[in-house]
Structure 1
Amino acid sequence: MKTSNFEDMTRAELRDYVRHNPHDTKAFHKYVDILRASPNRITISPDEIETELPKLLQSN
């Protein structure tokens, strides 16, 4: 896959590309932008990690 095709990749394709090309910072930043824009995104504060993260992982 060419790095210029990030806009044409699906989320799964871009995730796989980032996994196989960990030094491609442009691809990584694009993937993070997509994750941040996700409507089902769950956010927790650092203080909640120990208590809330196990709950979230069990519910999925």
Structure 2
Amino acid sequence: MTDREMEIAALAGHYSDADIGANLRISPRTVQNHISNGLRKTNTLTRQELFELVLQALGTQ
């Protein structure tokens, strides 16, 4: 995953696409694309699974 995908996935467990987009000054659709890419690259099925995997990888869980 790219750094940006990791950053967005780390927020995805707590915030909506619209909230993430507003905070990072990108469109909600761009957030959705980053989440979709992360799901595909990690073979996870839900954004919650992706969120937990990223937190584990970052060592913050």
Same fold (TM over 0.5): no
TM-score class, shorter: 0.3 to 0.5
The structure, 1 or 2, with the larger RCO (C-alpha pairs under 8 Å, 6+ apart) is 2
TM-score (normalizing by structure 2): 0.32
TM-score (normalizing by structure 1): 0.32
Structure number, greater radius of gyration: 1
